[in-house]
Structure 1
Amino acid sequence: MKTISILGSTGSIGRQTIEAAQHLSLRVAALAGNRNTALLEEQARRLRPALLAVWDESNAKDLRIALADTDVRVVSGMDGLMEAASLPEAEAVVTAVSGSVGLQPTLCAIREKKRICLANKETLVCAGELVMAEAAKQGAEILPVDSEHSAIFQCLDGHDPKEVKKLLLTASGGPFRGKKLQEVYYAAPEDAIAHPNWSMGAKISVDSATMMNKGLEFIEAMHLFGVTPEQIEVLIHPESVIHSMVEYTDGSVLAQCGTADMRLPIQYALTYPARMPSLAGSLDFAKLASLHFMAPDLENTPCLALAIDCAKRGGNLPAAMSAANELAVSRFLNRELPFGAIYECVAAALDSIDIVENPTLDALLETDRAAREAAAAFQA
């Protein structure tokens, strides 16, 4: 592995991917971002990619002017994002964009047979069957960057999938762990994004607070590892030391442990199957007083319960749920909805959607549009 592209380079995962890439002396061929043009310009000057993609054409025009003294080519929109994902010189693509916008670029990269370092969980939530089928057809690798899925991937490596009894998906519980939903119904955005263990972007931090993040990861795990919903168990683990586990049919349980540092799973996705010295620190087991595990309180985390239900029902429901959740979280961060209404908004959007049992890509994109429209119209 010598050259990579990074989609979502200005976000938390994207910035940490750049740190890992520089540590590994990898060349970055393409960068893609959304609105943070100042950081995109700084990254482009520092890394000198061949291509820089930004969502809005107006921002692209500004960046073309700002980078006129360089050889960096600036493109925009979905076409630009897909070009960044399929750049010939990149051997791997780190998909760290937020939301379902990552679906089509990921499919482009798969068709070019690139290694997909997947941090965009919505891609598999929305279209897991289509994406995994295309990856199998093209012979493209999909390696998880999420700490939980990276942990499961490592625990499964070298073992017969038929010997797996269940996956144990751990969750910190977020900033509102142990609280009743009514206690935090009107929580402020700044409280919801204050994660106790991980440094993450605003959207995923809110998803952690509602536990929707774990619901999305539940669905992602089904597709990545070819298991049924009944083979996945969510466990609250406040210390975030064990990142997830796999139980085998003989009763053995394998766990992956490590510090709460995303640079570790990012690097492993880039270097697999090799392990190399990383920027992440080491665990000091002598200083770990105790580790705790408990079942989630589904009554007070209705987003998690809703996601598990969508996982079991399948079809286009996971895509609708993910899209509606993106809108609901955005509205919460903009102080248009109270925290507790995020679930209500998503549930209402799902009620408005026509269910499609075996959706095509076009049907999933239409579901995404309709769910966003319904979530935007929701009144608490």
Structure 2
Amino acid sequence: MRRMRLLAVVVCLAVSMGLTGCWDGVEIQQRAIVLMMGIDPGDTPDHVQVTLQLAKPRRLSIPPSGGSSGGGGQGSPVIAVSEQGRGVGEALHKIQLDLNRRLFFGHLQAVVIHRQLAERGIFTLLNPLVQTRIVSRNLWVFVSEPSTRAFLEKSPELDVIPAMYLADLFRNRIWVNRPYDATIGGFHQRLATPGIEPYALLITGIDSKLSAPQIDGLAVFSGDRLAGVLTGPQFTGWLMLENQFPKSRLALPCPEDPGRQFVIDVKSVHSRLRVRNLSGARPYVDVDVRMRGSVEGGACVPVELQSGLDSLKRQVERQTQGMVTRAIQWTQSPLHTDVLGIGREVYRYQAAEWRGEAWWRRTFERLDVRVQVDARLDFMQTYDRIQMVYPRGDGAR
């Protein structure tokens, strides 16, 4: 018995000696924690400028000073460092040489790519991150129209960590049912899926009051190259088609007076689309949209009458139909890219009709669009003034 126990102890010791443990681990005090990365065009066509937003661990619990909004300010919890190189890898190597700590990408929240670079293709820009095993596949991907360095060097007024502000703004701005689609992992997954193209969130500017990026639309890709953007009504239509419209208010023009508006408090939007008559001469996409919410008529309905309320309901259905139709038509032309995943529905549910990606690109651009909207609305505070009627003999006071 003793010999067996001794043999077991010897075996355990021998096995434990072969374990490597954290042989390549780096102490937290020796890490430069990267929170966000921005990639801009360099001074020459073959160069890029990479800006990293690094955390100052000792200041993360201290809010930025009210007098300084710069990322390198004394009271800021982050600092921005930037270098240029012939690629992202070379620029990161130069940044590493300037630091006394090892770059650590385990807490990277977002990568922001300038629109000019996205139009050339982003495979080579994202490869250094994809090949780094420590980077999360849930990393948010953004395309920026202004310089990415401009807001990586700023600290938003509402959050001490700008990278977290950007990620939280994305989550709050859009009703995210499929958040993975807007990440680096979702980007690659969409590229590999037949009948659908990837997208990223679009940053259109910097809010001067909040010192924060403004997210207002989609950057739509064809392959890994930027094809164009969806903004305004087209972006709203995309949100409805993707069942990602947030629980929020939507302003629409009055039926009789487009100069005035009424407000819908949208509770839910559910859409379903199918492609019909694929083998015929005029294939079309059939879209059913169901909207639930409440309407505040205001000046649109001076007196609450059923005819006026019915007019508002029809206006909601017309406007919603127009936004959804324009979103599909805009992706057909001028974008020429199926970011809505209409082809994916054909590939999944009509596999016998699927004839490859090239066939679908031609078919997608000539699809007719038919949208039906069913708006079920509650009417609250829909009148602007109340007409009081008193019995004979009583006066209004």
Could you say which structure has the higher strand fraction?
2
Greater fraction helix = 1
Higher relative contact order (CA 8 A, sep 6+): 1
Q: TM-score, normalised by structure 2?
A: 0.27
Q: State TM-score, norm by structure 1.
A: 0.28
